[in-house]
Every structure is written in structure tokens, then in C-alpha cells.
């Protein structure tokens, strides 16, 4: 039984609700219990709940705090995979790109990508042109736009700071950028809307068995300190790069070949970038993506051993990313002193024989059943997560449905909007909504479009909390444009439990604000603390943890240079 005590005689309502949810987790037997609140676990929870199964999802940290907020933030077919002849994967990814654009139009945004071609480059113009034609065909012509050929002059007109020497011209094609962390969160909230129970900061610490069959998990409430056990007919291991740890608990061999990827953030003014640039390297493809006043560049692909929670950017990663960027932006000559932020993530790739480099390992996913009642799903991409969930549930239902007399409806995730995305013609809607926010609510012109893009139709619910206090419509500080209402809403409605949850994933202040939102962090801690009942000491602790996290992003700059090549694997 869940050893559960109420925190105080009178809890803040948000914690009361969490206590009720924890008690429900310990009390009910669910059809499905999912371990891991990244995009994989979140999409499975949404799909299963939409099919009418009873679902619980537990995440040991914050939703998306693992790999799912540390990606390149692209919803894409993966042009480079055409070269590896993974045509099926590219076709599936492009199809899923189309689906995500429809069901999450607020979070997935089409963008032109510029691919420069240089003399002596590894792929000639003809080869690239053929590849891009195939890419357009696989996406279905007319999807979000066909590629065009650009002369040298047009390429430099679009991006004047690109290295001119050796530039022959290039291509413009279309793919999408995404807010990965918020896509995961919106997916979790969609699952909850359909009746799923979803709890962050709840860790699975062991598995419970009845004979050979896995029937439950032991869990620990990371915030309140309680512990207990939860039961389900089927347990799904969607723990991303931690999946092998869960498999070890289940007594089965590991299947992963984890690979590390890093991104660095530099001020936009240093590269003068307007569009996403594809930087071709000999061994892989790099992206430079402008966002707000920043540009992020990456990524690397190296074997990773160790705790995925402890993954960090090291000096060799940084040198590789900076060298790759400087090769194309030779006048910029970026150094570590230019790096203002960054992130490292671990891909939960599935090991395959005969792939010496991690970048050769397929981005396909695998479903591995066993022991009885326990299914592992690993690999894949953010882009294909909806299809992964569908495949997993089809398999689980085929294998377990009759035994438990399940009568699920067919998969509906491809037609059902994700939380905040229930609107046709999003661009038109966003313009009108932003204009109304400026006109009727007095929201600053530079804030309104961001609010609508981040929350979609849910921006209305966010602003409703400002009805009780008009001061919540003000920014966190003069230098920090995020509204106070966003902090309150994050704690009340979006399950933010720490200041970092808000600064890093509910907003992207930590990564992309020039000051990492530090100027507004104290006010955010006050507002979130009021909702969660923090003492003055806890507020200070949260602030100091956040400052440490900010400093850790660029700690590599103080390390001695390393000799490992992050591209070699």
C-alpha cells in the first residue's frame, strides 16, 4: 500500500490534487502503466486513453526532461537518411510531419531550410537535386512546399555571412521546427484530458511480479518522499536512454546503443542568420537554427556510456560544433567565449550489428516484449513518435486484449488535435488572436504572437488567471518578457514543480533568453512558490539550483581541451 501522508493539514490545492493522484495511482489497477514521460511515453498514453484503455504514466523527473527536450527541435523527414537508403523511414517521417502539422499546428512550424553547396563538397549538385526531388515526392508535392535551386548570388542574398569562397549555389527546401518540450507536455495534457493519470516526479524503483508475469511497479514520490506500488495489466517501458535499467530490473538483456548529441547556442548577431542553414559535414549533417535573438547549432553523434542524467557538453563536443560552424561562417570565427548556452542529450538508439559509427545506427524503433506483461519500446524519433505509439498499442492489444477482454476503439491520434491545437488554418487564427491580445488585453506586441504559438487555443485559459489579478499581465521583469501569468499557469495547470521546469521547458528562457531569464527568475520563483507553498528558504534553494543549471551549460569552456573526436564515435 502507498505509504502516504498529507504534507500539511492544509495543502495548496495543487499539492492536494497531486496527493489525490498519487493515492489513485496506488489504488487502481490500470490497463496500461507507462514508465517514462518523454515523447514516447506521452504519445502512448494519449493513444491508449483515446482508444478507451485506462492509463497511468509516471515520470521520474519533469516531463520531457530526458531526451525529449534535448533534440535538434526539428520535425523532419531526415534528408540524410535517403543516402543510407532508409527510404521507408524517410517516407514514414514525412507522413508523420504532415500529421503533426495538422494536429499540433501551434507547436510545429514549417520553415525554409537553406542548403549551400561548395566546390569539393562530398555531394554534387545533381545528387542533391535528385535527393531533394525524392524528398518532395515522398512528402507528397504541395505538402509544405517544393525545393528550389538557388544561384550563388541568391544564396548570399539570403545569408550574407555565409563563406563566399568556393560557394557554388545551393537549395531551399522545407521542413519544420518544433518546441520539443512543449510538444511532449501538450501530449501529456491531451492524455489527461482523455482520462489518463499522469504524474511527474514519480520514479519506478522496482518491478512487482505474480509468478513470471510483471504486474506492477514500486514507485517513489520524488517531491513528497512517499512510496508505494502501482498495478497494471501491462507495463510499458518507455524510459528512453534509461530503458536498459528497467530491463535489468525485469531480468532481460539490454538492447540500446546510446549516443550523445550536443547543441550550442550563440547570439544571433554573430552569424546574422535569418533562415535554418544545413551545414554539410563529411560524416553527417549539421543545422544552424535561428530562434529569437539566438542561433543554436548542432549536433554531434558519439557513443555514450554512463548515466544519461549526467550527460554534459565537454570541450571536444564544443570544439567540433564550433569548427563545423566556422567552416561555413568563416568571418564569424566563433570561440567558446561566444557560447551563451547549450544542451546535451542521449539518443536511445537500438544496437545493431555491423554499424561501426553511432551515426550509422538506424533511427527506426523497436518493440521488445518480455518478460510476460512487460513491453519495451526504444529508438525512433520525435517526428515518428505517434506512429511508434500506434504500432506498440496495436501489438499490445493483439497480444493481451483477449486475455483482459479489452474492447478498444481503433487508433484516433492522427485525426485528434493535440492540446491547444484544435483549430483549422492556424496561421490566420494566430494573427487574429495576437491582434486581439494586444487590443483587448494590452499584451505587448512582441509577446502576443509567442503566447499564441506556445499555447495555441489554450492561451485563453492562461489569460483567465489574470482576471483575478491584472498585475499578472505584466512581464516578469523589464528585461524578461515572459508574463507573470505564464508562471502561475505553469504551476497551477502545467504541473511545473520546480523553477527549472518553468525556465527550461515551459518557457525556453534558460536556453534562448540572452540573460537566461535570470532577471525575472526571482519573480517567477515568488509566483510559482505561492502556488506550491514554498517557504522563503525553498525559494532561495530553487533560485540557487537554477543559477547552477545556467552555469553548468557552459562549464565546458573552463575544461582543458579534450582529444576525443565527437564525430568519430
Binding site for ligand FAD (CB under 6 A): 35-41, 58-61, 65-68, 70-74, 203-204, 238-242, 261, 299, 345-348, 380-383
Q: Report in angstroms how near the CB of residue 254 gets to ligand FAD at its nearest.
A: 14
Q: Report in angstroms how near the CB of residue 62 gets to ligand FAD at its nearest.
A: 8
d(CA 361, CA 132): 22
Q: Which of residues 241 and 475 has its CB atom nearest to ligand FAD in the complex?
A: 241
Q: Report in angstroms how near the CB of residue 321 gets to ligand FAD at its nearest.
A: 11
Torsion of CA 238, 241, 247, 252, to 10 degrees: 120
Q: Which of residues 74 and 443 has its CB atom nearest to ligand FAD in the complex?
A: 74
Q: Which of residues 48 and 167 has its CB atom nearest to ligand FAD in the complex?
A: 48
Q: Report in angstroms how near the CB of residue 270 gets to ligand FAD at its nearest.
A: 22
Q: Which of residues 186 and 476 has its CB atom nearest to ligand FAD in the complex?
A: 186
Q: What Cα–Cα distance (Å) separates residue 324 from each residue in 17, 334, 335?
A: 49, 10, 12
Q: Report in angstroms how near the CB of residue 247 gets to ligand FAD at its nearest.
A: 11
Cα 141 from chain centre: 28
Ordered alpha helix ranges (H), 443-556: 448-455, 459-464, 484-493, 499-500, 509-512, 518-532, 536-553
Q: Report in angstroms how near the CB of residue 303 gets to ligand FAD at its nearest.
A: 13
Q: Which of residues 231 and 347 has its CB atom nearest to ligand FAD in the complex?
A: 347
Q: Report in angstroms how near the CB of residue 188 gets to ligand FAD at its nearest.
A: 11
Q: Which of residues 246 and 472 has its CB atom nearest to ligand FAD in the complex?
A: 246
Q: Report in angstroms how near the CB of residue 219 gets to ligand FAD at its nearest.
A: 8
Q: Which of residues 155 and 178 has its CB atom nearest to ligand FAD in the complex?
A: 178
d(CA 434, CA 440): 10
Q: Which of residues 289 and 509 has its CB atom nearest to ligand FAD in the complex?
A: 289
Q: Report in angstroms how near the CB of residue 42 gets to ligand FAD at its nearest.
A: 7
The CA R_g of the chain, rounded to the nearest whole Å, is 23
Verify cis geometry, omega within 30 degrees of 0, for the bond prior to 371. Answer: yes
The cell numbers describing 171, all together, are 537549395
Bridge-based pairing of strands 374-379 and 148-151 is unpaired
Count each helix (H run) and each strand (E run) in the chain, helices first: 19, 20
Q: Are 237 and 373 contacting, i.e. CB atoms less than 8 angstroms apart?
A: no
d(CA 49, CA 51): 5
Q: Which of residues 79 and 532 has its CB atom nearest to ligand FAD in the complex?
A: 79
Q: Which of residues 347 and 459 has its CB atom nearest to ligand FAD in the complex?
A: 347
d(CA 416, CA 218): 33
The closest of 428, 308, 409 to 68, measured between CA atoms, is 308
Q: Are 86 and 65 contacting, i.e. CB atoms less than 8 angstroms apart?
A: no
Q: Report in angstroms how near the CB of residue 344 gets to ligand FAD at its nearest.
A: 8
d(CA 264, CA 552): 13
The closest of 513, 74, 119, 555 to 288, measured between CA atoms, is 74
Give the 3-state secondary structure of 71-92: CCCEECCCHHHHHCCCHHHHHH
Q: Report in angstroms how near the CB of residue 23 gets to ligand FAD at its nearest.
A: 18
Q: Report in angstroms how near the CB of residue 381 gets to ligand FAD at its nearest.
A: 3
Q: Which of residues 296 and 419 has its CB atom nearest to ligand FAD in the complex?
A: 296
The cell numbers describing 122, all together, are 562530398
The closest of 81, 113, 78, 112 to 96, measured between CA atoms, is 78
Q: Are 504 and 524 contacting, i.e. CB atoms less than 8 angstroms apart?
A: no
Q: Where are the beta strands (DSSP E) in 293-392?
A: 294-298, 302-303, 341-347, 365-369, 374-379
Q: Which of residues 167 and 186 has its CB atom nearest to ligand FAD in the complex?
A: 186
Amino acid at each position: 500500500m502507498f505509504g502516504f501522508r498529507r504534507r500539511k493539514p492544509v495543502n495548496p490545492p495543487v499539492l492536494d490534487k497531486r496527493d489525490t493522484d498519487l493515492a489513485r495511482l496506488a489504488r487502481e489497477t490500470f490497463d496500461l502503466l507507462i514508465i517514462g514521460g518523454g515523447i514516447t511515453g506521452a504519445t502512448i498514453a494519449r493513444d491508449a486513453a483515446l482508444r478507451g484503455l485506462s492509463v497511468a504514466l509516471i515520470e521520474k523527473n519533469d516531463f520531457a526532461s530526458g531526451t525529449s527536450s534535448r533534440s535538434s527541435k526539428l520535425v523532419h523527414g531526415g534528408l540524410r537518411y535517403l543516402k543510407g537508403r532508409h527510404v521507408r523511414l524517410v517516407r514514414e517521417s514525412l507522413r508523420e510531419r504532415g500529421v503533426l502539422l495538422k494536429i499540433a499546428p501551434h507547436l510545429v512550424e514549417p520553415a525554409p531550410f537553406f542548403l549551400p553547396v561548395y566546390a569539393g563538397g562530398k555531394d554534387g549538385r545533381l545528387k542533391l537535386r535528385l535527393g531533394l526531388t525524392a524528398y518532395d515526392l515522398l512528402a507528397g508535392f504541395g505538402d509544405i512546399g517544393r525545393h528550389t535551386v538557388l544561384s550563388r548570388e541568391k544564396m548570399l542574398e539570403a545569408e550574407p555571412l555565409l563563406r563566399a569562397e568556393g560557394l557554388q549555389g545551393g537549395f531551399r527546401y522545407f521542413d519544420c521546427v518544433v518546441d520539443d518540450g512543449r510538444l511532449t507536455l501538450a501530449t501529456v495534457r491531451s492524455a489527461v484530458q482523455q482520462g489518463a493519470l499522469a504524474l511527474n516526479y514519480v520514479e519506478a524503483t522496482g518491478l512487482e511480479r505474480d509468478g513470471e508475469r510483471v504486474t506492477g511497479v514500486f514507485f517513489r514520490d520524488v517531491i513528497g518522499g512517499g512510496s508505494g506500488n502501482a498495478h497494471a495489466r501491462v507495463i510499458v517501458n518507455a524510459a528512453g536512454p534509461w530503458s536498459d535499467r528497467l530491463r535489468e530490473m525485469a531480468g532481460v538483456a539490454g538492447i540500446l546503443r546510446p549516443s550523445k548529441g550536443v547543441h550550442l547556442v550563440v547570439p544571433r548577431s554573430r552569424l546574422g542568420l535569418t533562415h535554418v542553414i544545413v551545414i554539410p559535414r563529411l560524416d553527417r549533417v549539421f543545422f544552424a537554427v535561428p530562434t529569437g535573438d539566438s542561433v543554436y547549432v548542432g549536433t554531434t553523434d558519439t557513443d555514450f556510456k554512463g548515466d544519461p542524467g549526467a550527460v554534459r557538453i565537454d570541450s571536444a563536443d564544443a570544439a567540433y560544433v564550433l569548427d563545423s560552424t566556422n567552416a561555413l561562417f568563416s568571418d564569424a570565427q566563433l570561440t567558446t567565449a561566444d557560447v551563451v548556452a547549450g544542451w546535451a542529450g542521449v539518443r536511445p538508439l537500438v544496437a545493431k550489428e555491423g554499424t561501426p559509427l553511432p551515426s550509422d545506427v538506424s533511427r527506426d524503433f523497436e518493440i521488445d516484449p518480455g518478460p510476460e506483461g512487460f513491453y519495451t519500446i526504444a529508438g525512433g524519433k520525435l517526428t515518428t513518435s505517434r506512429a511508434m505509439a500506434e504500432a506498440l498499442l496495436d501489438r499490445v492489444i493483439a497480444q493481451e486484449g483477449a486475455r483482459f477482454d479489452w474492447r478498444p476503439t481503433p487508433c484516433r491520434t492522427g485525426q485528434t488535435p493535440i492540446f491547444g491545437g484544435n483549430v483549422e488554418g492556424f496561421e490566420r487564427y494566430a494573427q487574429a488572436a495576437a491582434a486581439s491580445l494586444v487590443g483587448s488585453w494590452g499584451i505587448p506586441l512582441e509577446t502576443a504572437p509567442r503566447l499564441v504559438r506556445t499555447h495555441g487555443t489554450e492561451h485563453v485559459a492562461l489569460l483567465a488567471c489574470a482576471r483575478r489579478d491584472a498585475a499578472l499581465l505584466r512581464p516578469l521583469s523589464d528585461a524578461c518578457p515572459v508574463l507573470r501569468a505564464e508562471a502561475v499557469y505553469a504551476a497551477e495547470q502545467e504541473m511545473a514543480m520546480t523553477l527549472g521546469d518553468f525556465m527550461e521547458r515551459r518557457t525556453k528562457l534558460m536556453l534562448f533568453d540572452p540573460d537566461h531569464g535570470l532577471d525575472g527568475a526571482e519573480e517567477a520563483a515568488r509566483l510559482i512558490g505561492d502556488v506550491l507553498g514554498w517557504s522563503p528558504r525553498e525559494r532561495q534553494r530553487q533560485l540557487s539550483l537554477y543559477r547552477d543549471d545556467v552555469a553548468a551549460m557552459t562549464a565546458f569552456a573552463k575544461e582543458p581541451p579534450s582529444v576525443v573526436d565527437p564525430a568519430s564515435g
